[in-house]
Structure 1
Amino acid sequence: MRNFVLLLIAVMTVAAQNATVQGQQAMDQMWGESVVKLRAENARRGQLFDEGNYAMFIHWGLYSMLGNQVDGKTYYGIGEWIMNPRMAGIPVDEYKQLAKRFNPVDFDAKKIVAIAKDAGMKYIVITAKHHDGFAMYDSDMCDFNIADATPWQRDPMGELANACRDAGLGIGFYYSHNQDWTFPGGGNGPKVDDQGQAATFDDYFVNKCLPQVNEITTKYGPIELVWFDTPGKMPKHYVQQLVELVHKNQPNALVSGRAGHGLGDYQTLGDMEVPHQNVPGMWESVDTTNDSWAYAWYDENWKSPKEILKRLVACVGRGGTYMLNIGPKGDGSVPGRAAASLKAAGDWIRRYPQVIYGTDASPWQHALPWGDVTRKDNTLFLCVFRWPDDGRLYVPNLLTSIQSARLLGADSSDSLPFRSEQEWAVIELPPRPVDPLVSVIQLDLKSPPKVDPVWAVDPAQSTEVLAEFAEADHAVKEKRRWMEKFGEWKGVVHVHDFGGDGRAVWKLDVHRAGTYQVDLVYSGTGRLVWQVGIDGGEKIQNQQNASHNYQAFPIGWLSFPEPGTYSVFARCIDGDVESASLKSIQFDPVELMSDANQE
C-alpha cells in the first residue's frame, strides 16, 4: 500500500507539473510572452521585427569623437554629417586623420546590450559604415577602418554581435551603400583616385561596397537585418546585387526599405516619423532619443520615458515596429540620461509585455483622445496616457460587446464597471491612475473587435483631430516636412490653399450634446481670420495672429445641439490667406449648467 501511495503521489506531482507547464505555455501564447523569451537564434525570418516591435538603433563612428564641435565651433544638427559641406565641410584628408585619435576605451558591448535588453528591445542595428566611409569593423577591403587606422585596433561589430547572441538579442548592421564621402567614386565622394585617375561609381561598388556587404553578412554569424540608407539615384542593378547577396549569405535576414527601388523586405518611414494612421504591411519607424542620431555635445533634449512609450505604443498601435536610436560618445560610453530614460520605459514594458510584443494594430486606426490601443485577438489594451478627471473613460463606437474590463497592475480580482451609451463604452475608473507612466486597461471582448473608426469628440477631455483626417474641399491637403536643425526632421500633413471656398472638413461623432471651446493649430504670417462651423448649423469666426511653427489659437465656442455625427469645417477667409497652413482642430468641453442638464 505504501508503494502504491508513493506512486500515486509521484504521478499526481508529475501531472501537476505538466499542468503548470501547459498553463504557463498557454499564458505565454496568450500574452505574447513567447516573444519576450524568444532567443534571436530561434526566431524565424523577421520574427523579432514583426512580433518584437521594438529595437535599438546605434549611430557611432569617428564623428562621435567630434560631438558636433570642430575647431572650437559648434555645428547644430545631426552629428554623423559633420564632415559634409552642409555642416563643417571637413576635407577628406583631414577627416581621415581623425582615425589616429579615435580610442574609444569606454566601449563595452555587454553594457550596451544590457541597456537594450533592460529597455525591452529585441535586436540592435549599428552603423558598420556610415556616409563618411569609415568601417567600424575589421575590413579587408579598405584601410580606413577601426582595426587598421586607429590606436584601438578592436572590432566593436564583432564584440557587439557576440554580446547580443549571449543575451538572446538579434544583431543587424547599417551600411551606407550609395554615399561614401572618402572612397573614390562613392556617392558624393572624391571623383578621382589616389593616382589622379577618374573614378566611377562602379569602381566604388565593385572594390568596396559589394565586398564589404559580403563581409558584414559572413563574419558575424546569423544577423537580423542589413539596414541600407539613402539610395539616392543609385541604379537598380546595383541594389539588386546587394539584396541578393544579403539573402544568399543570410537567408533569415531582412533588408531595410531604404535599399531603394522597392527591393527592401519592408517599408521604412521617414526619419523621426511616427504615423498617425494605421499603415498596412511590415514597416518601421526610426527615431532618436534626443534630436541627433550621432552624439552631439550640446544635445540634452532627451525624450522622457513617457514620451518614449507614447511613440512606441503609437507605432505598435499603427501596426509597425519602433527602432529608437542612441548615440554613444567618442569614448564609446552611452549618455547616462538616455540610458536612464530607456530603462524606465523598459520597466513599464516588463510590467505590461502583452501590450507591446506580438500584438496587432488598433481597430480604431488612430490614437484616441486619452491615449492609444493595441490588440491581441479578442483583447484590447487601452493605454491611458491622460487619466480622465471625472473618473470615466469614454471608448468611442465600440460595436463589439465587452466581456470584462480590468485595470492591469491593480488587484486582479477587481473588475471595472462598464456600461454602453449610444455605441460608446463608458468605463468607471478609480480616482487616480495605478501606474505613474501609463495605466493599462484590459478589455476582453465577446468576439473580434469591430469599431467605427470615425473621429470622436470626447465629452470629458480635450480632443485634437489632425488635418490629416480632414477632407480638403476646394483646398489642398499634403505632407509638409522641414528641418529645425540640419537633419532634425519635423513634419505635418496640412491643409492649405484656402482661396475662394477652400476649407477642411471633418466627419466627427459627438457623444454628448453641449458647448465646446474650439482652437485651431496653424501657421502663417500676419493676422488671419478663420471661420469654423457645422454644416447646416452654427458658425463662428475670429482673427488671431499667426505663427511660423504651428501654435494653438482660440476661435470660440461651438455648440452641438444633440449627439450624433456632424460635418465640421474650418477655413481661412481673410488676411494673408496664401500663408495659412492648418494642422489640426481642437475641442474642449465647456461645462455649463444647461449642458449638464442635457444629460
Structure 2
Amino acid sequence: MSCQSEINSSTQQSFQSQTEEQAIAKWESQKYSMFIHFGAYSELGGIWNDERVEYGYSEQIRAHGNITKEEFREVASTFNPVNWNPDSVAVLAKNAGMKSIVITAKHHDGFSLYETEYSDFDIIDATPYKRNIIKKLAEATREQGLDFGVYFSLIDWDYEHALPISSHNSDSIPPQHHQFNLNQVEELMTEYGPISEIWFDMGKPTLEQSRELKEMVKKHQPNTLVSGRLWNDQGDFVVMGDNVSPDFRMGTLWQTPASMFDETWGYRSWQERGNPQEKAAEKLRKLVKVVSNGGNYLLNIGPRGDGSIVEFEKEVLLTIGEWLDKNGEAIYGTTTSPLFEQSWGTVTSKPGQQFLFLTDPPENGQITIEGLRSEPTRTYLLSEPSRSLTVNQNGEEYSIDISALPETDMVNVVLIEYDGELEYVPATTISLSADNNYQLTAENAIDYHSLSGEDYYTTEPTVVEREWFILNPEKEEFLLRLQYPSDITVKKLEATINGNPTEISLDDRIEPEPSGNFVKEVGTVYLLANDLNKIKLRLADQSNPHKDLNVEGLIIELQ
C-alpha cells in the first residue's frame, strides 16, 4: 500500500482544494518553521578516524573528511537511530511555535531518509534501522496540525553518474543524474501526502533542468512551493544565504535558513554550545528581523546519530516558544510595516495594529516614531495587555514612555491600536521641484529586492520594484512624462498609482533631447489631492519576478 493512501483524507482534501494564492498566503503567514539536518553523517558527529573535522559543515563530512564512498556506506550500515521519535519531534516543533517542519530527505552524500526505488543507499536498504523516517515524520507533523516539507540535494556524492565531490558543491548535473533527480523527486511528490515546500540545494542545473524539476513538482502538487535554490529564477520563494538576513527591503517571497551555530547544521558532538538562554535571545532577534522585513525564518536542529534531540537545542526552541505564547500575535500572519525599521527596533503590521519590537530600547526610556499620524486608541505591552503605556504626540512625532517595562534578555513588544487605515508620512516623501513638478528618481525611491542567478555563487540582489510617495499635491490631474538614457533595454514597464496600473511601452522612442535622454509623454494620470499618494514601478512582464528592473537613469516626471 502506498503512503499516499494512508494519509489523513481530510488533510489531503484540504490541501488539494487550496488555490495557488491560498497556498502562497498560508506559507507566507507561517513566519517560523523547523529545519532538520539528519542523516548517516549524524552518526559521525563531526569526527572521522578519531579526529575532529573542523573545516566545513559536519553534514558534509564525507567531503571535508576525505571519506571514500565505500567508507561512507560502511558508516551508513551502522546508522541505527533507535531514539528517533517523530511524534516527539513534531510536538517539539509545535511547542516551539513553529508552523511547519522541513527535513533533509536527501543531502549531498546521496543517502535518503526514505525508501527509494532508484538506489539502495537509503534508510531501508543500507541501515539496520529499516524504517521510513520521512513517512513517519510526515504523519506525525500533520497530526500536530503543522505543514510538512522536504529538502532535496541536487548533487549526489554516491550516484555513479553524478559528478564527483568538488570543493564548491556547485557542479553541473549530467543528463543521467538529472533523470535520477527527477525520479526521486517524483517519489517524494507522490508518496508522502501534501508537501508544503520542497527545498532544493546546491548544484548548477541548466535552465531547462530547473524548469523540468519545477514542472515535476507542480504536476503532482500544484500547491507545493519550490525554493529558490532550484536556481535559474525558477523558485517560488527566494532563499537567502545561510544565516543571512537582508539589510534591504525585499519585494518577493523569501526565507532565511538558520542554524543554531554558524559552523554546522548537522550534529557536531564537540560543538561549544554555551548558554541556551543567550542562544534563544540571539535567534529570537534574528527571527524578529526577518519577519519585520516580510520573510520566513527556518531554524535548524541537528539530531544525534541515535536520533535523540540535543538538549541544548530543545531548550532554545522551547524558550522561544514561551516568548511566542505571549507575543506570537506580532509574528504570525503579519505584514511589513510602512514604519519598518526604527532606531530602537523594528515593526510589523496587521489591520489597525502596529507591533513595535524593542530590540534596542534607548536608555532614556522613551521611544519616538516619526511620521505617524494615526491617533492611537490604545498602546500597551503585548505580553501584559493590562500594562498601558503613555503616548505623547507632537505633530507627526509620537513619543512612548517605556521606562516602566520589565527588563528582559528577550524582546518586549509594544502594540499600538488605532481605527481605520494607517496614516503616516514616509521619510522619503517627495516635494515639488524647482520646475514645479514631481521628479521620481532612483535617489528618492524605496527599492524592493529579490535574488537572481544561475547557482549559489552567481546569485545576487536585484531591484524588482521602486516605490515613491507624494504628499498633498494641490491638484489631481498630472501629465506623466519619462526621461531615460539610450542604453535602457527594458521594453515595457508598469506604473501603479494608488493601486491603478498603467503599462508604459518604451519601444516607440523619439529623438533624444540635447541632454542625450529620450523623452516619452505617457498621458494624464490622477493623484489624490491633499492626501498621500503611492506610486510603484516594476517590469510589466512578471513571468520572472526576480529579474532586475534595470532602469538606472530613468526619471519619472509628474507635471
Fold shared per TM-score above 0.5: yes
Change (3 A) 1:251 1:200: closer
Q: Which residue of 2 aligns with 1:213?
A: 185
Question: Which residue of the other structure, out of 106, 112, 117, is the alignment partner of 1:140?
Answer: 117
Task: Determine whether 1:405 maps to 2:382.
Answer: no
Q: Which residue of 2 aligns with 1:79?
A: 58
SS at match of 2:372: coil
| Residues in 1 aligned to 2:12 and 2:241: alpha-carbon distance in whole angstroms | 27
| Residues in 2 aligned to 1:67 and 1:48: alpha-carbon distance in whole angstroms | 36
Question: Which residue of the other structure, out of 199, 211, 215, is the alignment partner of 1:240?
Answer: 211
| Structure 2: 5+ residue stretches without partners | 1-9, 167-171, 429-442, 444-455, 462-559
| Residues in 2 aligned to 1:39 and 1:155: alpha-carbon distance in whole angstroms | 20
Cα deviation 1:267-326 (Å, max 9, x = unaligned): 111111012232112111111122211111122346622222211111110011111111
Task: Determine whether 1:109 maps to 2:83.
Answer: no
Cα deviation 1:76-123 (Å, max 9, x = unaligned): 231111111xx1111111111111111111101011111111111111
Change (3 A) 1:449 1:137: farther
Question: Which residue of the other structure, out of 349, 352, 358, is the alignment partner of 2:324?
Answer: 349
Cα deviation 1:116-171 (Å, max 9, x = unaligned): 11111111110111110111111111001110010111111001001011111111
Percentage of identical aligned residues? 34
Does the 8 A contact of 2:173 with 2:203 survive in 1?
Answer: no
Cα deviation 1:463-497 (Å, max 9, x = unaligned): xxxxxxxx9xxxxxxxxxxxxxxx9x9xxx9xxxx
Give the counterpart letter for 1:384 in structure 2: L
Question: Which residue of the other structure, out of 130, 137, 142, is the alignment partner of 1:165?
Answer: 142
Question: Which residue of the other structure, out of 422, 429, 440, is the alignment partner of 2:413?
Answer: 440
Question: Which residue of the other structure, out of 228, 244, 251, is the alignment partner of 2:200?
Answer: 228
Q: Which residue of 2 aligns with 1:305?
A: 280
Task: Determine whether 1:376 maps to 2:350.
Answer: yes
Q: Which residue of 2 aligns with 1:23?
A: none
SS at match of 1:343: helix
Cα deviation 1:27-79 (Å, max 9, x = unaligned): xxxxxxxxxxx989746423442111111111111111111110111112311
Give the counterpart letter for 2:28 in structure 1: D
Does the 8 A contact of 1:387 with 1:432 survive in 2?
Answer: no
Q: CA deviation at 1:221?
A: 0.9
SS at match of 2:191: coil
Q: Which residue of 2 aligns with 1:318?
A: 293
Give the counterpart letter for 2:58 in structure 1: G
| Residues in 1 aligned to 2:423 and 2:192: alpha-carbon distance in whole angstroms | 44
Q: Which runs of 4+ in 1 moved over 6 A?
A: 38-41
| Residues in 2 aligned to 1:40 and 1:361: alpha-carbon distance in whole angstroms | 31
SS at match of 2:190: coil
Give the counterpart letter for 2:47 in structure 1: Q
SS at match of 2:108: coil
Task: Determine whether 1:65 maps to 2:36.
Answer: no
Q: Which residue of 1 aligns with 2:176?
A: 203
Q: Which residue of 1 aligns with 2:220?
A: 249
* Count of residues in correspondence between the two structures: 409
| Residues in 1 aligned to 2:142 and 2:353: alpha-carbon distance in whole angstroms | 33
Superposition map of 1:418-497 within 5 A:
418-421=391-394, 423-433=396-406, 437-446=410-419, 447-453=421-427
Q: Which residue of 2 aligns with 1:516?
A: none
Does the 8 A contact of 2:372 with 2:396 survive in 1?
Answer: yes
| Residues in 1 aligned to 2:206 and 2:402: alpha-carbon distance in whole angstroms | 58
Q: Which residue of 1 aligns with 2:69?
A: 92
| Residues in 2 aligned to 1:108 and 1:151: alpha-carbon distance in whole angstroms | 16
Question: Which residue of the other structure, out of 276, 284, 301, is the alignment partner of 2:247?
Answer: 276
Task: Determine whether 1:131 maps to 2:104.
Answer: no
SS at match of 1:67: coil
Q: Which has the larger radius of gyration?
A: 1
| Residues in 2 aligned to 1:425 and 1:92: alpha-carbon distance in whole angstroms | 64
Q: CA deviation at 1:434?
A: 6.9
Question: Which residue of the other structure, out of 390, 408, 411, is the alignment partner of 2:364?
Answer: 390
Q: Which residue of 2 aligns with 1:260?
A: 231
Q: Which residue of 2 aligns with 1:417?
A: 390
Q: CA deviation at 1:346?
A: 0.9
| Residues in 2 aligned to 1:295 and 1:40: alpha-carbon distance in whole angstroms | 33
Change (3 A) 1:245 1:362: same
| Residues in 1 aligned to 2:399 and 2:414: alpha-carbon distance in whole angstroms | 12
Q: Which residue of 2 aligns with 1:150?
A: 127
**TM-score normalised per structure 1:** 0.64
Change (3 A) 1:448 1:133: same
| Structure 1: 5+ residue stretches without partners | 1-37, 191-198, 455-470, 472-486, 494-599
Q: Which residue of 2 aligns with 1:12?
A: none
Could you say which structure has the greater relative contact order, defined with CA pairs below 8 angstroms and 6 or more residues apart? 2
| Residues in 2 aligned to 1:221 and 1:428: alpha-carbon distance in whole angstroms | 51
Change (3 A) 1:405 1:57: same
Give the counterpart letter for 2:73 in structure 1: K
SS at match of 1:363: strand
Give the counterpart letter for 2:413 in structure 1: V
SS at match of 1:304: helix
Does the 8 A contact of 1:39 with 1:168 survive in 2?
Answer: no
**TM-score normalised per structure 2:** 0.69
| Residues in 2 aligned to 1:40 and 1:355: alpha-carbon distance in whole angstroms | 30
